[in-house]
Amino acid sequence: TSITSAKIHVNGVHLHYQQTGEGSHAVLLLPGMLGCGQTDFGPQLKSMNKKRFTIVAWDPRGYGQSIPPSRDFPPDFFERDAKDAVDLMQALKFKKFSLLGWSDGGITALIAAAKYPALIHKLVVWGANASVTQEDVRIYNGIRDVSKWSEKVKKPLEEIYGHKYFAKTCEAWVDGISRFAEKSDGNICQELLPDIKCPTFIIHGEKDPLVPRAHAEYIHKHIKGSRLLMMPEGKHNLHLRFAEDFNRQVEDFLH
């Protein structure tokens, strides 16, 4: 099946999304920082089971082709993304759907699953965190300057955004997410985790340089009945690097 690409008006902005498959089980893919469907989910849009699933990958406001507006990071940007994501799926007439969230998209998915339990069927998150520690802030500052990024990671983003928007937005993201560390417990959404009642699958790469494993363990511990899979060779982008294994694991869980 082909992948269609369109925009839909949601919460005052025009959100871009890609859609493929004709299955009865709708799945929303939520990208990471600066990501969009095109950069973050190629192997999932291409290879996930199109008979069983209808797959939607969205570009959060200010990312990918959901510009304008320019991306900003107010204190509630994760809640805003969660509401946009859920409202997008409702606008597309999906009554109930599962969430697959990577990194920042994983945080957004956790919040959405907690706040809109009647709409969420199942939840898969990887490379996500529910709080920000001082160690995390140190890691984020290590990626603040995009000129130091590897060519391979940088190139697709520069093609979408141009260098200036990409560099500026990355800096704004580091400032925005680091703000959570100023709270005593560094909390992003810890108190919401016990509210997540849908079946939840947490995947973590043991070699993830951006998100220490304690984050995955914390999420697993606080979502009742959740499953945790550690991938020994996985890094942050395990769903791209080990796409076949990842897709299989996720499809088995969603089945």
Print the SS3 string covering the chain.
CCCEEEEEEECCEEEEEEEECCCCEEEEEECCCCCCHHHHCHHHHHHCCCCCEEEEEEECCCCCCCCCCCCCCCCCHHHHHHHHHHHHHHHCCCCCEEEEEECHHHHHHHHHHHHCCCCEEEEEEECCCCECCHHHHHHHHHCCCHHHCCHHHHHHHHHHHCHHHHHHHHHHHHHHHHHHHHCCCCECCHHHHHHCCCCEEEEEECCCCCCCHHHHHHHHHHCCCCEEEEECCCCCCHHHHCHHHHHHHHHHHHC
Residue 117 CA, distance from chain mean position = 18
Instruction: Please report, as a single letter, which amino acid is at residue 14.
Output: H
Structural domain for 203, as ranges: 3-254
* Strand pairing class (53-59; 97-102): unpaired
Active-site residue flag, 220:
no
Active-site residue flag, 178:
no
Cis (ω within 30 of 0) for the bond into 68?
Answer: yes
Beta-bridge mates of residue 205:
231
> What sign for the dihedral angle of Cα 85, 89, 95, 99?
negative
Predicted confidence pLDDT, tens digits, the chain (255 residues): 799 999 999 999 999 999 999 999 999 999 999 999 999 999 999 999 999 999 999 999 999 999 999 999 999 999 999 999 999 999 999 999 999 999 999 999 999 999 999 999 999 999 999 999 999 999 999 999 999 999 999 999 999 999 999 999 999 999 999 999 999 899 999 999 999 999 999 999 999 999 999 999 999 999 999 999 999 999 999 999 999 999 999 999 999
Closest by alpha carbon to 19, among 31, 32, 35, 1?
1
Cis (ω within 30 of 0) for the bond into 74?
Answer: no
Active-site residue flag, 236:
yes
Q: Which of 40, 84, 104, 208 is catalytic?
A: 208
pTM of the shown model: 0.98
Q: Which of 25, 215, 236, 239 is catalytic?
A: 236
* Strand pairing class (53-59; 13-20): antiparallel
Instruction: Please report, as a single letter, which amino acid is at residue 44.
Output: Q
Q: How far, in Å, CA of 12 to CA of 83, rounded?
A: 12
Class of residue 164 by CB neighbours under 10 A (exposed 0-12, middle 13-18, buried 19+): exposed
Class of residue 108 by CB neighbours under 10 A (exposed 0-12, middle 13-18, buried 19+): buried
* pLDDT of 184: 86
Number of structural domains the chain divides into:
1
Closest by alpha carbon to 110, among 52, 42, 195, 5?
195
User: CATH number, domain at 72?
Assistant: 3.40.50.1820
Q: Which of 103, 131, 178, 226 is catalytic?
A: 103
